[in-house]
């Protein structure tokens, strides 16, 4: 029975037969249910693929590649450091240093595997084993000789590296297993969704064929149009459905689909924008986390500064400058420029309170430049340790806009973490220098002499080359102190140290041994060369400290060589010291060589 728009005698339309209305309602209900099931299944499949399957596959594949790159970088570093321990050639140490950024980049990619619960334990164990190898062996391998001796040190390194390799193999095997499991799960999901879609489609087709003859004009064509709109929605084409020429129920359904399309489009745009914001913030936090882990155990100021600037660049996507407060506290000097790298000391200077950097340093607050007054479009974030500003991170605006909001918050967090690390590394460097250098003469001290002498003896024995030690003592220094005072005695010690320092050539190093006694390490010459150097120094001290007809101070020298007079460093110092006292007992102001008198 066709639905005809008939009008009665009074102009009112004739109502459709109840059976037809029932058929239309039943068919519309069936089609609506089928369409809704199809939409749910398709959207579920798309959401599952976009939110779970694809990110997981990409994360696992990139993590596997990063794992191999990290392992190759570890192999390169291990081989280079072993070459350095075997030969002492700085080339191998530099090669190991060059491999460090590659390792750090690979580890950054590998961190993505931490998002997989079944791999998190393996990755953490692998990173801990790698960090242990670097901290307990790789960092120590740059010092010659290594602690405990080369052979024992190499065995320790091999044990640590073998532990890392075992962790790496376990992580790789588990990653491959996770990839296989993800592929199987994806196939099963595709079959289930496809089967359900097939069942729904067949059922819908049977119902549609049953009422096709009667409802062709008023139901089938509109439904086809609506189904096409549903398929477009399922495939992500969120365009409004075409107008429907049919019953009021189908028109209402069409309007509902139009509203749903608009709502889905708006939600998709909002979800995409939110996902982008969350991803950007996650990347910033991951960058800070990685930087913090890298600098946590480092006491190298240059490395900490470099890592801080690189992390700030990753967060802001713009140029970053790092300024450090000068020792006198009156200004700042530029330490690092992301466009140029490390900057020479005092090359660029900034006064407190002047400009965006100076204002931030003076008041300990974030300051933004004002381009209208000629300042750069940059924001300055202070590095505060306790209540003291030690430096400034100057971040220039990028093409994406000003450094503000979440990006500025990330820079503040970065400044808080890196400030303490920079201060700790600078204090460590100052302490290390104080422990190895005499504060009065600025010469290396006796402790440094012991370490350098052991290294020089080992190198001389390894290459079969001669080396020597010169011991010198200022004559009648006690009488000078008693006559002129200890302050004048300190001045004489400083001048003698300056005389020694300016006379040193390549392979010659002066040390303050204690009191008025000094030592000179000659790593590239035998006793004859050392005797000539000692005689030059003796004559120079005598000339420099003559005041008219008065001689303020002279020096006596003792020389000993390896292997002529001793077989190790301690014996070499002892023989040189004996030769020194032989010279003093023979009248002072002369040079004695171990085993005989010279000069």
- The answer on 445 and 425 residing in a single domain is no
What proportion of the chain, given as a percentage, has pLDDT over 90?
Answer: 17
Tell me whether residue 28 is in a domain: no
Catalytic residue numbers read 516
CATH number at residue 412: 3.30.450.40
- The answer on 454 and 431 residing in a single domain is no
What is the mean predicted confidence (pLDDT) over 139-150? 77
Report the first-to-last Cα separation within the chain, whole angstroms: 136
Does the pLDDT value for residue 160 go beyond 50? Answer: yes
- The answer on 572 and 447 residing in a single domain is yes
- The answer on 466 and 422 residing in a single domain is no
Q: Which two tokens stand for residue 176?
A: 């491959």
- The answer on 414 and 313 residing in a single domain is yes
Task: Read off the pLDDT band of 2 (50, 70, 90).
Answer: very low
- The answer on 102 and 145 residing in a single domain is yes
Integer-rounded Cα Rg, in Å, for the chain is 40
**DSSP tag of 366:** -
Distance CA(231)–CA(227), nearest Å, equals 6
Distance CA(297)–CA(291), nearest Å, equals 11
Name the phi and psi angles at 549, rounded to 5. Answer: -95, 5
Domain that holds residue 134: 50-178
Tell me whether residue 54 is in a domain: yes
Residue 297: predicted pLDDT: 62
- The answer on 414 and 465 residing in a single domain is no
- The answer on 555 and 408 residing in a single domain is no
- The answer on 446 and 425 residing in a single domain is no
Tell me whether residue 526 is in a domain: yes
Tell me whether residue 164 is in a domain: yes
Residue 585: predicted pLDDT: 92
**DSSP tag of 471:** E
Of 405, 435, 465, the residue that ends a domain is 435
Q: Which two tokens stand for residue 63?
A: 């993590």
Per residue in 518-551, pLDDT (tens digit) is 999 999 899 999 999 999 999 999 998 888 888 8
Does the pLDDT value for residue 169 go beyond 50? Answer: yes
- The answer on 491 and 448 residing in a single domain is yes
Which of 515, 495, 560 has its CA nearest to residue 534? Answer: 560
Residue 10: predicted pLDDT: 43
Of 400, 435, 470, the residue that ends a domain is 435
Cβ atoms of residues 146 and 85 within 8 Å: yes
Per residue in 61-76, pLDDT (tens digit) is 888 888 888 889 889 8
Tell me whether residue 100 is in a domain: yes
Does the pLDDT value for residue 598 go beyond 80? Answer: no
Tell me whether residue 167 is in a domain: yes
Does the pLDDT value for residue 565 go beyond 70? Answer: yes
Q: Which of 95-109, 141-155, 170-184, 531-545 has the lowest mean pLDDT?
A: 141-155
- The answer on 503 and 376 residing in a single domain is no
Residue 13: predicted pLDDT: 46
Q: How many structural domains comprise the chain? A: 3
Does the pLDDT value for residue 27 go beyond 70? Answer: no
What is the mean predicted confidence (pLDDT) over 126-147? 83
CATH number at residue 166: 1.20.120
Of 158, 178, 198, the residue that ends a domain is 178
Q: What is the mean pLDDT of the chain?
A: 80
* Higher-pLDDT residue of 511, 47: 511
- The answer on 444 and 428 residing in a single domain is no
- What letters, b where the CB count within 10 A reaches 16 and e where it falls short, cover 229-257? bbebbbeeebeebeebebbebbeebbeeb
Strands 331-337 and 320-325 come out as antiparallel
Does the pLDDT value for residue 306 go beyond 60? Answer: yes
CATH number at residue 559: 3.30.70.270
Tell me whether residue 237 is in a domain: no
Tell me whether residue 141 is in a domain: yes
Per residue in 180-237, pLDDT (tens digit) is 888 888 888 888 878 887 887 787 777 667 766 666 666 666 777 777 777 877 777 7
* Higher-pLDDT residue of 483, 252: 483
Q: How many residues does the chain have?
A: 599
Does the pLDDT value for residue 17 go beyond 60? Answer: no
């Amino acid at each position: 029975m066709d639905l005809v728009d008939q009008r009665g005698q009074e102009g009112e339309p004739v109502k459709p037969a109840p059976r037809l209305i029932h058929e239309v309602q039943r068919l519309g209900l069936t089609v609506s249910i089928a369409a809704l099931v199809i939409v749910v299944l398709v959207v579920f499949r798309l959401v599952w693929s976009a939110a779970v399957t694809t990110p997981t596959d990409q994360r696992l594949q990139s993590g596997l590649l990063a794992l191999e790159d990290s392992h190759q970088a570890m192999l390169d570093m291990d081989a280079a450091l072993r070459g350095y321990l075997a030969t002492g050639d700085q080339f191998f140490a530099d090669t190991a240093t060059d491999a460090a950024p590659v390792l750090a980049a690979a580890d950054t990619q590998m961190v993505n595997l931490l998002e997989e619960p079944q791999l998190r334990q393996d990755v953490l164990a692998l990173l801990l084993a790698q960090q242990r190898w670097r901290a307990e062996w790789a960092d120590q391998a740059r010092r010659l000789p290594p602690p405990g001796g080369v052979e024992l040190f190499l065995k320790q390194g091999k044990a640590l590296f073998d532990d890392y390799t075992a962790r790496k193999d376990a992580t790789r095997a588990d990653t491959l297993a996770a990839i296989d499991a993800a592929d199987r799960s994806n196939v099963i999901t595709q079959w289930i969704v496809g089967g359900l879609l097939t069942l729904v489609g067949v059922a819908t087709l049977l119902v549609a064929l049953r009422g096709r003859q009667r409802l062709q004009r008023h139901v089938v064509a509109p439904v086809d149009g609506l189904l096409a709109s549903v398929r477009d929605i399922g495939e992500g084409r969120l365009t409004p459905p075409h107008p429907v020429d049919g019953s009021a129920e189908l028109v209402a359904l069409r309007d509902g689909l139009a509203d749903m399309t608009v709502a889905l489009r708006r939600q998709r745009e909002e979800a995409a924008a939110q996902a982008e914001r969350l991803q950007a913030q996650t990347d910033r936090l991951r960058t800070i986390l990685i930087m913090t882990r890298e600098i946590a155990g480092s006491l190298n100021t240059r490395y900490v500064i470099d890592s801080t600037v690189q992390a700030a660049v990753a967060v802001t996507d713009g140029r970053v400058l790092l300024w450090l407060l000068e020792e006198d506290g009156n200004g700042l000097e530029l330490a690092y420029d992301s466009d140029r790298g490390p900057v020479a000391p005092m090359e660029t200077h900034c006064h407190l309170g002047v400009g965006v950097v100076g204002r931030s340093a003076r008041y300990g607050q974030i300051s933004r430049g004002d381009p209208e007054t000629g300042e750069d479009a940059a924001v300055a974030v202070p590095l505060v340790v306790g209540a003291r500003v030690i430096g400034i991170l100057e971040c220039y605006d990028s093409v994406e806009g000003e450094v503000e909001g979440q990006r500025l918050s990330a820079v503040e967090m970065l400044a808080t973490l890196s400030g303490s690390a920079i201060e700790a590394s600078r204090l460590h460097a100052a302490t290390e220098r104080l422990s190895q250098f005499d504060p009065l003469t600025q010469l290396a001290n006796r402790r440094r002499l012991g370490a350098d002498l052991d290294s020089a003896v080992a190198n001389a024995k390894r290459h079969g080359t001669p080396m020597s030690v010169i011991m010198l003592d200022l004559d009648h220094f006690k009488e000078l102190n008693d006559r002129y005072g200890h302050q004048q005695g300190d001045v004489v010690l400083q001048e003698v140290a300056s005389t020694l320092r300016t006379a040193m050539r390549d392979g010659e190093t002066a040390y303050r041994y204690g009191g008025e006694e000094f030592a000179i390490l000659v790593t590239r010459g035998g006793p004859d060369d050392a005797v000539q150097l000692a005689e030059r120094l003796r004559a120079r001290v005598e000339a420099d400290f003559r005041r008219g007809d008065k001689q303020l101070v002279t020096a006596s020298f003792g020389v000993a060589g390896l292997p002529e007079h001793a077989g190790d460093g301690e014996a070499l110092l002892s023989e040189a010291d004996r030769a020194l006292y032989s010279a003093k007992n023979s009248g002072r102001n002369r040079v004695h060589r171990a085993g005989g008198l010279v000069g």
